[in-house]
Structure 1
Amino acid sequence: MSYPHDAAIAAFVKSFHLDWSPTTIKPAIMTTTRPTNGSNNEDQIGECAYRSEHGNPEKALDLGLIYDIHKEDYVQLLCNLGYDNQTIKIIFGESISCSRARDGSLVRNYNHLTLVVVVEPMTSLSDVFHRTITNVGTATSNYTTTVLPN
């Protein structure tokens, strides 16, 4: 369920960035929140502990890096998930065909901030995820990232 305060933050961000799409605003909000820590609250266990919490509207306005997803990205995602051209036509209301060969493994390269990989216990892992981000901050910005296991 979407929280009303998330909708308010999205409307607030949109009022400052009229050219940002909903698919840009959502990761802006998600990447500027404080993550839930299920170990500190027994009510937040399991899957609920993976969501973002406590959005920060001011940080979401001045994000620096954004993810944006375009119609072509959605089409390719649906193609990679195995949807046929007729179903994709129904979804988009126009004739669209899959431009590239279907490859279910490419679903992982959907341009979204979430990265998911299944890791078997006691095995090593080396993996690559492709994402495209756009710098909307100052040209001389430096960014670092941290990956935290869940």
Structure 2
Amino acid sequence: MKNRLNTLYKANLIGNKVDILPRKGKMTILFNEAVRSSETFFTQINADVFNYLDKINHHAFRLLFYYKSHINFKEDRRLDYCYVGRETLKVRLKMGSSTIQEANEQLTKNKLIKITKHMLERREEDYDDNNELIFDRYNNHYSVTEKMM
């Protein structure tokens, strides 16, 4: 956790370097207001997420932020979910399938996300021009729960 916070400090996203993590009590983190108020994309999540640090690992923490940052609330489509593919997550976050699966399980167990699974389905047309069976496969939908908004 200390390394992650200091990475944010080096990137000028927070204003204070973390030398020691407190064992008890609270810790103050000063966000760079210039970055937060700029026109660049910046994902905010409820501060209660820090209450789950002993229940979810850092991979789950990263996935939660990824899902939240890829929900487009400003579009008229009113999508309240991220629909990223597993292979995309593996490449972008440099995680393996089992790590992603374990992180998703931690997030759903703690009710931080909801996953709507989509299975492989047959199409109505059934066969293409080469007489091969046609299947549709849609990505799962990952919704961040209200308490993390």
TM-score (norm 2): 0.25
Look at both structures and tell me which one has the larger radius of gyration over its CA atoms: 2
